[in-house]
Chains A and B, each alone.
Chain A
Amino acid sequence: MAKIKGDILINTERCKGCEVCLAACPFTVIAMSKEVNSKGYRFAMKVNDDCTGCTNCALVCPDGVITVYRAKVATE
């Protein structure tokens, strides 16, 4: 059986750590990092595998740092 799986790639150098994407994600896939990027912002990062590729986080990101992937993955 095939299942829809999603994935996000965050450009952490451009992330300003506003946390708007955290509120938009329906599966709490995103959390804030402990480290900071070169500008001194804590950045958003993916913390689990529940992403469905719904694009909500990428739509609300003011800086457009999130790229969303979605594919059908075969499962048993």
Chain B
Amino acid sequence: MEEQFAKTEIRKPENIVYKRTDLLVDRPLSYCPGCGHGTAHRMLMEVIEEMDIQDKTIGVSPVGCSVLAYDFLDIDMIGAAHGRAPALATAIKRMWPNHFVFTYQGDGDLAAIGTAETIHACNRGENITIIFINNGIYGMTGGQMAPTTLPGMRSSTSPYGRDVPTMGHPLKITELISHLPGVYYVTRQAVHTPSHVRKTKKALRKAFELQKENKGLCFIEIVSNCNSGWKMTPVQSNKWMEENMFPFYELGDIKVDGKLIEKKEAPVKE
């Protein structure tokens, strides 16, 4: 490691401009190479470090790839039954209203088995933050079709592509819950390029600041890749995500300060 292209004169502690935050436990992440979970974990921990709320934050981990999040995040964590993280977070927040409570869920957890808990927690306007990682597939169990799988997208249970007449339409749960009055801030971000990572961090920071002010539920969707499930290399999967996921799951704020953002209609060509 030391023989790397050496320019050691500036490799000093006082010159460090970026390093892995200490709130991530110093052990290898269990995720596949190139998985967006690692970046999302790091951004979350950086926000908690900047706000200095490590001892006042309680996270709820889901069932899915990120079920082991409590092994990596150096804060209080609790594991919920499949899909029930918002219900558990509701209880925690009501018991400790001064603590920061977030759930970290994937699309199979939040949009499939946990749809009822998610929608009702959002409708009640609980003061929690929901972080939703959407990769359009059940990653942990072997790449089966999820509610968020795109039409025509291949998965292990839709090997010829998702056929809408027989398998249904993809569920845009983020748009769905943005219409509920209890939800204060809804946004959709990504973590595959530096600019998207910075925007995601800002969104997470905003969500935790709003939770401090008891404004209502904040919902952050992070569109991520699943290169193992999609059978691609990490760089290919990021490109595929830009070309196929982003036109359907458009990035950007959906609801800010309790008001829906008006979508600009594309000009109609005559």
Where the two chains meet, the residues of A that have a C-beta atom closer than 8 Å to any C-beta of B are 5-7, 9-14, 16-20, 22-24, 41, 45-49, 53, 55-56, 58-71, 73
Contacts and interface: CB of A to CB of B under 8 A. Distances in A.
B155 interface: no
12 contacts: A5-B10, A11-B1, A16-B33, A18-B235, A22-B235, A53-B17, A55-B17, A60-B191, A60-B192, A61-B38, A63-B28, A69-B16
Contact of A70 (B17, B32, B194, B238): B17
Given A16-B33, A70-B15, 13 more contacts: A9-B4, A18-B234, A24-B194, A41-B33, A46-B5, A48-B5, A55-B194, A58-B18, A63-B28, A63-B29, A66-B18, A68-B16, A69-B11
A62 B10 contact: no
B11 A19 contact: no
Contacts of B15: 7, 69-71
Interface residues of B, number: 39
A74 to B, nearest CB: 11
Give the interface centre of B10, B11, B24 by most chain A CB atoms within 10 Å: B10
Interface string B197-233: 1100000000000000000000000000001000001
In order of increasing CB-CB distance, the 5 nearest A-B pairs are: A62-B38, A18-B34, A16-B33, A64-B20, A18-B33
Give the interface centre of A13, A14, A64 by most chain B CB atoms within 10 Å: A64
A51 B56 CA distance: 38
B194 A56 contact: yes
B17 A69 contact: yes
B264 interface: no
Interface string B176-200: 0000000000000001111001100
A71 B10 CA distance: 6
Contacts of A68: 16-19
Contact of B34 (A20, A55, A69, A70): A20
Contacts of A19: 34, 233-235
Contacts of B235: 18-20, 22-23
A14 B33 CA distance: 10
Interface in B1-37: 1, 4-5, 7, 9-12, 15-21, 24, 28-29, 31-37
Contact of A59 (B1, B10, B29, B197): B197
B5 A49 contact: yes
Contacts of B33: 16-18, 41, 62
Contacts of A9: 1, 4, 11
Nearest to B3: A45
A48 to B, nearest CB: 7
Nearest to A51: B7
Contacts of A41: 33
